[in-house]
């Protein structure tokens, strides 16, 4: 399930970056800021999903040792 979310986030980021590359007319400072903010947000989403997948995979193959109960 996490892999699907990662693929979807990458596809959306590629689509937005392609759309932004098609507009090379003069843009205002606010538009440039909004474009940069969108890019940063998408990078953070992809990085968080990848890190969650890595942690899940590590914990799956390296489960914690059972707690020692008793005297």
Determine the pLDDT at residue 18: 66
Alpha-carbon span 52 to 57, nearest angstrom: 9
Determine the pLDDT at residue 24: 54
Tokens found for residue 59: 């914990």
Segment holding 9, helix H or strand E: helix 2-22
Q: What digits encode the pLDDT tens for the residues 5-47?
A: 777 777 777 777 666 655 555 677 788 788 888 888 888 888 8
Determine the pLDDT at residue 20: 60
Alpha-carbon span 38 to 43, nearest angstrom: 9
């Amino acid at each position: 399930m996490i892999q699907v979310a990662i693929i979807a986030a990458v596809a959306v980021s590629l689509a937005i970056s392609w759309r932004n590359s098609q507009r090379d007319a003069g843009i205002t400072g606010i538009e440039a800021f909004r474009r940069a903010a969108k890019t940063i947000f998408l990078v953070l989403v992809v990085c968080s999903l990848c890190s969650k997948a890595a942690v899940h995979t590590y914990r799956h193959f390296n489960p914690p040792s059972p707690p020692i109960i008793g005297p």
